[in-house]
Amino acid sequence: MILIIGGTGFYGRRLAPLLANCGEEIACMDINPETADFSEHSKQVRVMRGDVSQFDDVMNALNIAKPSRVINLAYFLGSDYPPRVAFKLNILGMDNCFEACRLAAVNRIAYASSLAVPGERKFYGDRRINEGDFRHGHVQYAMHKIFNEWQAQDYCEKHGMEITAIRPANVTGPDKIIGSVDHVFCITTPARGNPVSFPFRDAMRCPIHVDEVAEIFARVIVKDKPEHWICNTGGQAVSLGEIADIVKEFLPGAQITFDKDTGGKEVSGNYLIDNTRLVQEFGVQYRPYRERVLQIINDIRREAGLPLIGGR
């Protein structure tokens, strides 16, 4: 049994069915339990309401589900939340998860950290960042993820737990609406037939499709003793202009415009990311990004009742 806290969100909606298809029994605890439809997997996926910032809710979920492994995905994306509100979900919620697992003798946990942890590109020149780099992140979201990573390590060292942080890059998918979204809207807005504009053509991103992220969590959580505590997902380093060009191959009439051709690269977040750990230990391989763009275009068009686009 695997318990996924925050299991009905953007990742959880994919991860629970994926694990179920691998034969796992899944319990999801979420404060919004109705935002995912697991009816196709109703025998293997059960959903309960619970608030990860309430220690009793987490203990209760562990008592009901009796999992051997736990994944925590419940978090606020972004840095604009009132300090106390963000602390309760991001810091206390994560610690509730670690501590409840310790008390319930659940040794294996995975959670989502972020690309935000290492901080801006300017600290690294032109080289790829790796998990050993200094954590330069300084905004609320990054600071909370940095603390989560430190706290996880403390639990591992003092209590012998096996806790893995996955640091996703710029995750993309048709239903992504919070976090880094310009690289997503560059695809989804024209797929709906609407115009879209961005400040810089050369702004760099590192997208990875949410299906790949779900696959990573599925591979990582079933391993008992992983080699590393922190793993970057990496992704495809690409500019918004290049994404626009791919979209226009599939949708020649797409109206994607930029205010300026240059000036975006210097202010881009991290986009050169080393994911050797995941590749070597978990055999992770990503489908070509171009295929994922077409997949997203057609997901949007299917939902909007528009004709689908064929691959070229």
Ligand X SMILES: NC(=O)c1ccc[n+]([C@@H]2O[C@H](COP(=O)([O-])OP(=O)(O)OC[C@H]3O[C@@H](n4cnc5c(N)ncnc54)[C@H](O)[C@@H]3O)[C@@H](O)[C@H]2O)c1
Which is nearer to ligand X, 44 or 148 (by Cβ)?
A: 148
State the minimum distance, in angstroms, from the CB of residue 168 to ligand X.
Answer: 4
Query: What tokens were used for 262?
Result: 């240059």
**CB of 80 vs ligand X, minimal distance in Å:** 14
**Beta carbons within 8 Å of 260's beta carbon, 6+ residues apart:** 199, 200, 201
Query: Which C-beta is closer to ligand X: that of 146 or that of 251?
Result: 146
Q: Rule CB under 6 A: which residues touch ligand X?
A: 5-6, 8-12, 30-32, 35, 51-53, 73-75, 77, 89, 93, 112, 114, 168, 171, 179
Instruction: Identify the helix (H) or strand (E) that includes residue 46.
Output: strand 45-49
C-beta of 173: minimal distance to ligand X in Å? 8
For ligand X, the closer of residues 178 and 308 by Cβ is: 178
Shortest distance in whole angstroms from residue 83 CB to ligand X: 16
Supply the minimum distance, in Å, between the C-beta of residue 261 and ligand X.
26
Shorter beta-carbon distance to ligand X: residue 5 or 101: 5
Sign of CA dihedral 61, 65, 66, 69: negative
* Residue whose entry in the numeric block shows the structure tokens 């239903």: 175
Residue number, 107 or 113, with CB nearest to ligand X: 113
Closest residue to ligand X in the complex (CB): 9
Closest by Cα among 277, 275, 4, 280 to 129 = 275
Q: CB pairs under 8 A, 24+ apart, for 13-22?
A: 13/175, 14/210, 14/211, 14/213, 14/214, 15/71, 15/73, 15/214, 15/217, 15/218, 16/41, 16/45, 17/41, 17/45, 18/214, 18/215, 18/218, 19/218, 19/221, 20/44, 20/45, 22/218, 22/222
- Find the angle CA(10)-CA(13)-CA(19) to the nearest 5 degrees: 130
Give whichever of 63 and 257 is closer to ligand X, judged by the CB atom: 63
Residue 100 CB, nearest distance to ligand X (Å)? Answer: 13
